[in-house]
Copies of this chain bind each other. A is one copy, B any other.
Amino acid sequence: MTLLHTIALLGVAVFAISGALAAGRRHFDLLGVVVIALVTALVTATGGGTLRDILLDRHPVFWIKDTTYIYVSLIAALLTVVYARWRHPPARLILIADALGLALFSISGAQIAEHAGHGGIVAIIMGTLTGAAGGVLRDMMCAEVPLILRRGRIYATAAIVGIAIYLLLQLVIDRTLAALLGMACIAALRLGAIFWNWTLPVFSLPGDKDEQ
C-alpha cells in the first residue's frame, strides 16, 4: 500500500495546484482570494477520493482518517499562490496538473474498488469518478464548463482507456507495473490532447448531411 499512498499524496498535491491556480487566475493580491484558492484546492484535491469513499462505504473518509492529505493540499496550494505571485505560471499549468491528477487518481480509484472486491465495469466507473470528480467540482466552483464535458476533448476517454489497459495488463504482468503503465497512458492521452490538440475521431454514417 505504500506506493498507493505515495501516489494518492502526489495526486492530492497536483490537484491542489490546479485548484489554487483556477481559483486565483493570477490575482492573489487579496487575502480573500488566497482563502478561496485554499478552499478550491482542498475541494479539488479531496473531491474525487471523498466521493469514492462514500460510494464504497469506506469510513473514515481518507482525509479524515489521515490528515496528511489535508496538509499536503494546503501546502501545495500555498506554495502555488506564492509562486504565482512571484512569477506568473504558464496558462497550461492548470491543465497539466489536472492531467497528472486524473492519471494518478483514476488508477488508484480503480485499485481501491478492486481491493473492495469489485472488478471490471465498477472499477472503471469508480476510477473515472475518483479521477474526474475533483476537477468537475473545481470547474463548477470557478464557473467553468467542466473539462470532462468539453466536446471532442479526450478526458473521460483517457481515464476509461487507461483503467481498461491497467485491468487487462495486470492479468499478464506485475500489478504495480500495470498500474504505472495505466497512469502513463492516461497522462499521455491528456497531455497529447493539451499540447497537440488531439481529438477523438469523427465518424459518419450515410445520411449525415440530411441532419442539419
The CA of A157 and the CA of B151, in the complex, are separated in Å by: 34
Instruction: Evaluate contact between B59 and A200: CB separation under 8 angstroms.
Output: no
Please name all residues of chain B whose beta carbon is closer than 8 Å to the beta carbon of A205 when the two chains form the complex. 85-86
Minimum distance in angstroms from A132 CB to a CB of chain B: 9
Q: How many residues of A contact B (CB 8 A)?
A: 58
Query: What residue of chain B has the Cβ atom nearest to residue A154's Cβ?
Result: B32
Instruction: Evaluate contact between B86 and A33: CB separation under 8 angstroms.
Output: no
- Interface assignment of A2: CB less than 8 Å from any CB of chain B: no
Q: Which of B36, B64, B204 contacts A29 (CB 8 A)?
A: B204
Q: Which of B42, B118, B146, B157 contacts A125 (CB 8 A)?
A: B42
Contact with B along A2-41 (1 / 0, CB 8 A): 0000000000000000000000001101111101100100
- Interface assignment of A194: CB less than 8 Å from any CB of chain B: no
- Interface assignment of A207: CB less than 8 Å from any CB of chain B: yes
Please name all residues of chain B whose beta carbon is closer than 8 Å to the beta carbon of A211 when the two chains form the complex. 26, 85, 88
- Interface assignment of A149: CB less than 8 Å from any CB of chain B: yes
Q: Which of B39, B56, B59, B86 contacts A207 (CB 8 A)?
A: B86
Please name all residues of chain B whose beta carbon is closer than 8 Å to the beta carbon of A122 when the two chains form the complex. 64, 67, 70
A: residues with CB less than 8 A from B are: 26-27, 29-33, 35-36, 39, 42, 50, 54-57, 59-61, 64, 67, 70-71, 85-86, 88, 118, 120-122, 125, 128, 140-143, 145-146, 148-149, 151-154, 156-157, 160, 199-205, 207-208, 211-212
Can you sample 7 A-B contacts with CB below 8 Å? A31-B200, A32-B152, A32-B157, A39-B156, A64-B118, A140-B140, A141-B149
